[in-house]
């Protein structure tokens, strides 16, 4: 049974696109899925047969970050809509040690979106990237490195 110390309550994460490291405030839809088809077998009706179908739609990863002016932000501008990203690497860290890694391959940026510009509000301008991808691989590292 897991103890409270085994959970990851205070963590940070780092995102790399094709070797470039960027800071994001939020990663949404860190998931993968498959498409299935269920068939009812004529001879055995106790339960359906579940078959995996070829995937027709990609999974979607959404990354959010605050917009600021720096050299790194200018470099981030090269990742615009339609840009292919061969590898996305997300490292989840606890106390400075990497405890989990996610690898995403064959991504394409399909949407870039900004928060509303409102002169009456004093909020940070948020940029959202939606990336379609073909799958995610998780590598847990229980002892961290």
Backbone angles phi and psi of 63, in degrees to 5 = -115, 135
Share the mean pLDDT of the chain: 82
d(CA 134, CA 138): 14
The string of pLDDT tens digits covering residues 27-79 is 999 888 888 888 877 666 677 888 898 888 889 999 998 877 666 667 777 88
- Give yes or no for a contact between 14 and 21, defined as CB atoms under 8 angstroms apart: yes
Q: Which fold has domain 4-140?
A: Pnp Oxidase; Chain A (2.30.110)
- Please tell me the predicted confidence (pLDDT) of residue 45: 67
Phi, psi of 46 (to 5 degrees): -70, -35
67 vs 126: which has the higher pLDDT: 126
pLDDT of residue 68: 74
Backbone angles phi, psi at 40, to 5 degrees: -95, 120
pLDDT at 9 > cutoff 70: no
Predicted confidence band of residue 131 (pLDDT cuts 50, 70, 90): very high
pTM for the whole structure: 0.78
Q: For the chain, what are the domain ranges? A: 4-140
User: Using CB atoms within 10 A of its CB, is residue 14 exposed (0-12), middle (13-18) or buried (19+)?
Assistant: middle
Q: Can you tell me the distance from the alpha carbon of 67 to that of 43, in angstroms, rounded to the nearest whole number? A: 60
């Amino acid at each position: 049974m897991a103890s409270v110390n085994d959970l990851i309550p205070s963590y940070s994460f780092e995102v790399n696109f094709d070797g470039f490291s960027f800071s994001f405030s939020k990663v949404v839809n860190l998931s993968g899925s498959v498409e299935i088809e269920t068939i009812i077998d004529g001879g055995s009706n106790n339960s359906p047969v579940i078959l995996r179908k070829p995937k027709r739609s990609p999974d979607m990863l959404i990354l959010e970050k605050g917009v600021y002016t720096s050299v790194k932000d200018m470099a981030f501008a090269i990742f615009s809509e339609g840009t292919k990203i061969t590898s996305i690497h997300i490292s989840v860290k606890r106390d400075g040690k990497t405890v989990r890694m996610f690898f995403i391959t064959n991504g394409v940026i399909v949407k870039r979106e900004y928060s509303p510009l409102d002169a009456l509000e004093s909020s940070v301008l948020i940029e959202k990237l939606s990336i379609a991808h073909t799958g995610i691989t998780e590598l847990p590292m229980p002892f961290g490195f």
